[in-house]
Structure 1
Amino acid sequence: MNLRLLVAALGVIAILAPAAAQTPDLASIARGSGTPEIPGLKMVWLAPWGELSKSHRWHNIIVHQTEGPAGSARYGAQEQARNPTRRGVTVWVETDGTVYWAVPESLVPTHGDGANRNDNKYIDNAATFHQVVGSNSIGVEFAGNYPDVTRGATEAQIAAWRILARVLEARYGIPVERVYAHDWIDFKDARYCEGCALATLARQPDF
């Protein structure tokens, strides 16, 4: 009886092992090109990944939030795709968690206001003042905090961010301490701290 159970178990392992070996890990996917399927993310590729060696050299991630209503990420991403260097970002996240990659990673959209925050209100700004700017930071925009700007990201957006943040970090070699909220580096809206909760989550090792 025990021998039959052992043989059956070995058979199951033999079946499962090749499938497991063929499942690429997130880091491997993040170093690829084209329009890969990323487990756990619903990605809409308006611009595919190119060869990583030819991408812009991104050193930071800046988290933004827009006051647009639900559905505005799709519109914003489409407008960004039409005019990549307009004021906006590379990646847009809808309230339902859909992620839009809008701009070729070799191009630099206009975002951030020059890292003009030097008051140490949220973080030590010694290393960010006039340093963490749009030209060296890939931007991610979370849509949907209209009409209440203090409303946080949706559960679906947070679930998507959990994966997206790690993909960006792995693809461009960005350490977690280089994920910044808009309001950590730039003076913005006094009513709320834009991107702060999401950036804080991304910096947590267990996020």
Structure 2
Amino acid sequence: MPPLSFLLHAALTLLLLSPAAAAEDFAALARASGTPEIPGLKIVWLAPWGAPDQAHPWTNIIVHQTEGPAGSARAGAMAQAKNPKRRGVTLWVETDGTVYWAVSETLVTLHGDGANRNDNRYIDNGPTYRKVVRDNSIGVEFAGNYPDVTTPATEAQIAAWRILSKLLRLRYQIPRERIYAHNWIDYKDARYCEGCALAELARAMPD
């Protein structure tokens, strides 16, 4: 039997290596096809993944918050799956953290209003003005800010977003600085900053 010091060293080595190994496994999973199980996420697949290189060439992520009550993400996703060209997004996130992948990653959904914000109020709009648009941006919609639009995302939504945002960045090779709140790029409801806290969170996360 190996000496105790050797066993302790081996155990410490595994502990040190495990985060890197886990990151490699997650990166590989992010490039999978079909309907994979993603650790820490509950995804309802209304449209499966294809091969990553066959997906639409997404270069941005836009975070939205729908003015719908708790439970409305499923209805929105189902309607999107039935009619992908309705105004909406690819992914919907329920207040309990459930993610609905509504339509194929090859389709462009009708979200975003044309990146018409040029006031630099939240970010420098030079790189986004009329450039971060639906044709190059995959959209994620968070439900639950009704009847008070200032209601923040739930803890379950935030936990899901931590994983989901990293998954999307790895799958489509999107840098964190290309995650945008809807309100950062389009003139929106003046009552609240749509998607801002969620976009800031995702941008601040380490790789």
Give TM-score scaled by structure 1 length.
0.90
Number of aligned residue pairs: give it.
200
* Structure 2 equivalent of residue 203 of structure 1: 203
* Structure 1 equivalent of residue 150 of structure 2: 150
* Structure 1 equivalent of residue 52 of structure 2: 52
The 3-state SS of whatever aligns with 2:126 is helix
Residues 4 and 31 of structure 1: CA distance in aligned 2, closer, same or farther (over 3 Å)? closer
Structure 2: which 5+ residue stretches go unaligned? none
The 3-state SS of whatever aligns with 1:127 is coil
Does 2:164 align with 1:164? yes
1:1-207 correspondence runs (5 A) = 6=4, 9=7, 25-206=25-206
1:154-197 superposed Cα distances (whole Å, 9 cap, x missing partner) = 00000000000000000000000000000000001000000000
The 3-state SS of whatever aligns with 2:29 is helix
The 3-state SS of whatever aligns with 1:157 is helix
Stretches (4+) displaced over 6 A? none
Structure 2 Cα separation of the partners of residues 76 and 191 of structure 1: 23
RMSD over aligned Cα atoms: 2.3
Structure 2 Cα separation of the partners of residues 4 and 125 of structure 1: 62
Give TM-score scaled by structure 2 length.
0.90
Cα distance, 1:102 vs. partner?
Answer: 0.4
1:73-108 superposed Cα distances (whole Å, 9 cap, x missing partner) = 000000000011210000000000000000100001
Sequence identity (%): 70
Cα distance, 1:48 vs. partner?
Answer: 0.3
Residues 32 and 4 of structure 1: CA distance in aligned 2, closer, same or farther (over 3 Å)? closer
Structure 1: which 5+ residue stretches go unaligned? none
Larger Rg: 1
